[in-house]
Structure 1
Amino acid sequence: MSTREEAPETRPPFPPARGGSRPGTRALTDRKPRKRARRGERRELIIEGAQKIFSEQGFSASTRDIAASLGVTQALLYKYFPSKEALIQAVFENRYAHGRFMPDPEILADTSRPLVERVTAFYGALFDFLRDGSLRLFIRAALDGYAAHDIYANELVRGSILPLVEAMRAELSLPPTSERAMSNAEYEIAMAEHGGTVFIAIRNLVYERGPHIEVKDAIAQHVRIWLPGALAEMKRIHADWSEQKPVSEALLQAPGLESVQRER
């Protein structure tokens, strides 16, 4: 196949695909491609495009519609993914597996900064991840009956909840989780902060109604309100440790990616 002319520099980087794709969905082929995508690159582009389509339209979108939106044939789609379920699996793995959706936990471990600054920076970075469509995708998956949470829950605990609990224990000079397993009560303390940030993201990215101050300022405000009470509650929990139950070991294990199937 001969190489076609390079497109002008003024051309938008994500042009509409043949058949009229949504703005922002990059076509894999168009009238004047800059160069032919290699196999691995094309697979990644299909995954990225499918993620956007699923997050906007839901998982009822057909492979025919997905192919048309991406500017490829349905046959090419099936060349890379033997079924729609395989494509959905690849999208979930790309977005949620192996801690890809979590900020670097070293942000929380850096004791050269006050804890309030570390927690604010960590959850500000989490919001930056959620704004690329990952939040909508997760909500769509739950509504359409796909068990994305089977990956998400484990990665959340390992990549966010546990590092936050470790940082809070260090702040209070309490034993690390390697010596005293994280308790269910501590899990709920950390989830209160995580849930607050996620709801700020829902208001901003899903409802598109708020917050009424800058997002990062709202996250910082939430941390300042939450942290003093959280530390006081953690101190109380450890003072009465005999009454506490450890969090389930299953939550601390690496998730089984094969489990992301439709539940209903």
Structure 2
Amino acid sequence: MPPRSPVRPPRQRHSAVKSAKTARAPRQRLSNEERERQIVDGAIRFFSEHGLTGQTRELAARINVTHPLLYHYFPNKEALIKRVYKEVFLGRWKSDWETWIEDRSVPLQERLNRFYIDYSKAILTKEWVRILIFSAFAGGYISDNYLKLLSERLLPRIVRETRAELGLPTEKPPTEAELELIWGMHGGIFYIGVRRWIYGLKFPKDLNRVLTDRVRSYMLAAPEIFTREAAPH
């Protein structure tokens, strides 16, 4: 019979397994900036998958940091959520979009096409769509602030430029009907992301054509509604 392999005592076997695990997953030494980046990127992925009610203790385990270390960089969960908003939403907002919309040397339909094609690249992503939706069910910090951003920096511009395109006075505040028409266009584009990242459906094969069709539908309806709203009541 062939000689048997020597059998290690239980303590030696345990030590060997532990050493192998340690060798496979060494702890990284990161700078403060790199560690903070690791936490923020991990939080974006975690919240997009589990929602903003997900526990920071689980987040810390997912990204292989201790819970106290996470709180060293972000004193509470609210601070981390605010940083996620800054990264995913404010960080993707381009001031160029506002300039494009206001460039009256170009027909409005072309301006809106250019804007929404570029805007869709920023928003029709898993983290953007899912975090925005989850936020509405978890205190609303991100969703409330983003809707405020749209209401201050996008919607009034589209109202004003649509009126100018139609030769109507531009100085009055937007009316409810005007805003609802814009929300119909804007929300329809956002819903493409909802279909993909909430319901699991595929993106349209020709996304740009769908976007420009949404803009064209808005431009066809705008003369009737904006002219009606500009008339004396």
TM-score surpassing 0.5? yes
Cross-structure match for 1:248: none
1:112 matched to 2:105? The reply is yes
Match of 1:170 in 2: 164
Q: Which residue of 2 aligns with 1:222?
A: 214
Q: Which of 65, 76, 88 is the aligned partner of 2:69?
A: 76
Partner Cα separation in structure 2 for residue 147 and residue 40 of structure 1: 25
Pairing partner for 1:36 from 30, 33, 49: 30
Question: How many percent identity over aligned positions?
Answer: 31
Retained in 1: the 8 A contact 2:182–2:218?
Answer: no
Normalising by the residue count of structure 1, what TM-score does the alignment of the two structures yield? 0.70
Q: Which residue of 2 aligns with 1:128?
A: 121
What does residue 189 of structure 1 align with? Answer: 181
TM-score by length of 2: 0.78
Between the aligned partners of 2:147 and 2:114, the Cα distance in structure 1 is 21
Unaligned residue ranges in structure 1 (runs of 5+): 1-29, 244-264
Which one of 219, 239, 242 corresponds to residue 231 of structure 2? 239
Cα distance in 2, alignment partners of residues 135 and 102 from structure 1? 21
Equivalent pairs, count: 209
Report the aligned-residue RMSD: 2.6
- Answer yes or no: is the 8 Å Cα contact 1:96–1:151 preserved in 2: no
142, 155, 160: which one aligns with 1:161: 155
Matched, 1:141 2:167: no
Is the alpha carbon distance of 1:211 and 1:134 closer, same or farther for their aligned partners in structure 2, counting shifts above 3 Å? closer
Pair 1:41–1:160, CA change in 2 (3 A): farther
Deviations 1:51-77 (A, max 9, x none): 221111112322221112222221210
Residue pair 2:101, 2:161 contacting (<8 A) in 1 also: yes
| Deviation for aligned residue 1:102 | 7.8
Residue 150 in 1 paired to residue 144 in 2?
Answer: yes
CA deviations on 1:129-174 (whole Å, 9 max, x unpaired) are 1133111101011133434232122101122211111211110122
Distance 2:128 2:95 in 1: 11
Give the deviation of 1:49 after TM superposition.
1.9
Of the two, which has the highest radius of gyration? 2
